[in-house]
Amino acid sequence: MASPKSFSCCICRLFPRTSTSEASPRKTTSLAAYGLSSRQLKQLLPSNFAAVPPPPPLNNDILVEILSRLPAKFLLSLQCVCKSWRALISDYHFVMKHLIHAAATCSINNSLTLFLSSTRLYSIVSVGLDKDHVHVANRELDLPVKIPDILITRIVGSCNGLICLQVNCTNIVIWNPCTGHSKLLPKPYSLLSGFLFFGFGYDSTTDDYKVIRGSRTALSKETVVEVFSLRTNSWWRRSNKDHGYVCLNGKGCFFNGALYWVELQWAGGPRPIGSRILSFDLAEEKFQETVSLPYLGKEENYVFAGIGVSRNSLFVYSDPMGSDLRIWVMKDYRVRESWAEPIEIYLGQILKEEVDESFLRPLCILESGEVLLDYNRNVLVLYNPKGKTFRSIALGTQSDVAIYMETLISPATGRGSDM
């Protein structure tokens, strides 16, 4: 790609500056041409976005269209061209338009970007794939918030270019690694104990990003949920009387305005006896059971262990129980009959003699059909279901990983970039 200086010179020759009075009439934003489904747009934009006219500086459609398709990092370097470009690139409508293009590009490219986290180490890994080779570029990052004596870091979630991290027990940070900006959230109400669950996502009905953290105590059958709203910069808390007892654990995945978990059912033994999908609707702020698991007939030995999102579809995966890992993809949202035939991964091919002691979790399914797997939290591998082959794409010491895309979204406001 050309340097920012040479690129800006070419653009300025093509599009000389115009005053506001010379700009074309204001008009509302059309979303039909972006190639994304209404469900995908719901995860990116507020529900009334199309009805709000853009400001006059964005009325030069061709210039805006060119700039909004550029990588976020390149746009950051273009801010120094002139004041009007700086204002445009940080404008809310432009940032949202760039977000749509970034999401559309991620859905069609045979590449992915990952955010890796260890105790004090963070990095962005860009992975380019072709039939024979894997191209990996790693960029190490420093946590922009000063937190002393970091003992543990957990990825709460990744949404629209924002990463939510929990550092130690009560420090929660929303961070845009691309722009470098971050926000340290107010302290939650309390230090939660017991089995913990958490998540991070976007509520399009209020144009708000929300953090969910909760805990459950098996003996007392008590579940406590705390919700943080970026828009109001505050937490609120609910207990059993609001939502009943739920048996959740770990990170929820964000999809279609809700966070999803697989809730395991126990009967006192060492292994779960059943499971169901439970979601927390970010608009209504309550738990719901809206998606059914695949029907397996008499295959009672399979217990669903987790849920994820890939290529605008939910997928669930089984507890391998020492044999193999199965992944089901839901083609049509909320239609139980649309669960596709499972992808089967025979663990002996990769884990050899360590099946019972190993950790293996699917992260996403690429356009090529390959499955990205997190193996023992320090190796990322790709599995090709057609050839039944594995290839390693990253080695390191990461304890957590999330799918990521670079955007200009502000972690302080959830809107235009604070540049």
pLDDT at 109 (0 to 100): 65
324-341 tens-digit pLDDT:
788 999 999 989 899 998
Averaged pLDDT, 145-155 = 86
pLDDT at 23 (0 to 100): 42
The β-bridge relationship of strands 222-229 and 208-217 is antiparallel
> Chain-centre distance of CA 357, in angstroms?
28
Task: At 257, list the tokens.
Answer: 């305005």
Residue 17 has pLDDT above 60, yes or no: no
Using CA atoms, how far residue 4 sits from 8, 77, 331, in Å, is: 6, 6, 42
Instruction: Mean pLDDT check: name the lowest of 92-106, 230-244, 315-329, 339-353.
Output: 339-353
158-189 tens-digit pLDDT:
999 999 999 887 899 999 999 999 999 999 87
pLDDT at 396 (0 to 100): 62
Instruction: Mean pLDDT check: name the lowest of 23-27, 357-361, 412-416.
Output: 23-27
Domain boundaries along the sequence of the chain: 60-102, 187-397
- Give the list of residues 6+ apart from residue 339 with CB closer than 8 angstroms, or none: 294, 295, 328, 329, 330, 331
The confidence band for 110, taking pLDDT boundaries of 50, 70 and 90, is: low
Percent of the chain predicted with pLDDT > 70: 74
84-101 tens-digit pLDDT:
888 888 888 899 999 998
> Chain-centre distance of CA 303, in angstroms?
25
Residue 223 has pLDDT above 90, yes or no: no
User: According to the per-residue pLDDT averaged within each range, which of 20-24, 42-46, 208-212, 307-311 is highest?
Assistant: 208-212
- 1 versus 167: the higher-pLDDT residue is 167
Residue 136 contacts residue 127 (beta carbons within 8 Å): yes
Strand partners, 135: 128
pLDDT at 410 (0 to 100): 95
Q: CATH for 187-397, among 2.120.10, 2.40.50, 2.130.10, 3.40.50?
A: 2.120.10
Residue 195 has pLDDT above 60, yes or no: yes
Taking the C-alpha atoms of residue 187 and residue 193, their distance in angstroms, rounded to an integer, is 16
> Chain-centre distance of CA 101, in angstroms?
16
365-409 tens-digit pLDDT:
888 888 988 877 777 888 888 888 888 776 566 678 899 999 999
Q: What is the mean pLDDT of the chain?
A: 80
- Determine how many CB atoms are found less than 10 A away from the CB of residue 214: 26
Instruction: Mean pLDDT check: name the lowest of 7-11, 126-130, 275-279.
Output: 7-11
Q: What is the pTM of this model?
A: 0.85
267-320 tens-digit pLDDT:
676 676 778 899 999 999 989 888 998 887 665 556 788 999 987 899 999 875
Residue 1 has pLDDT above 60, yes or no: no
The confidence band for 22, taking pLDDT boundaries of 50, 70 and 90, is: very low
The confidence band for 32, taking pLDDT boundaries of 50, 70 and 90, is: low
pLDDT at 25 (0 to 100): 46
Averaged pLDDT, 40-68 = 70
SS (H, E, C) the chain: CCCHHHHHHHHHHHCCCCCHHHCCCCCCCCCHHHCCCHHHHHCCCCCCHHHCCCCHHHCCHHHHHHHHCCCHHHHHHHCCCCHHHHHHHCCHHHHHHHHHHHHHHHHHCCEEEEEEECCCCEEEEEEEECCCCEEEEEEEECCCCCCCCCCCEEEEEEECCEEEEEECCCEEEEECCCCCCEEECCCCCCCCCCEEEEEEEEECCCCEEEEEEEEEECCCCEEEEEEEECCCCEEEEECHHHHCCCCCCEECEEECCEEEEEEEECCCCCCCCEEEEEEEECCCCEEECCCCCCCCCCCCCCCEEEEEEECCEEEEEECCCCCEEEEEEECCCCCHHHECCCEEEECHHHHCCCHHHCCEEEEEECCCCCEEEEECCCEEEEEECCCCEEEEEEECCCCEEEEECCCCCCCCCCCCCCC
The confidence band for 354, taking pLDDT boundaries of 50, 70 and 90, is: low
Residue 250 contacts residue 233 (beta carbons within 8 Å): no
Q: What are phi and psi of 382, to 5 degrees?
A: -110, 130
Helix axes 61-68, 92-108, angle to 10 degrees: 50
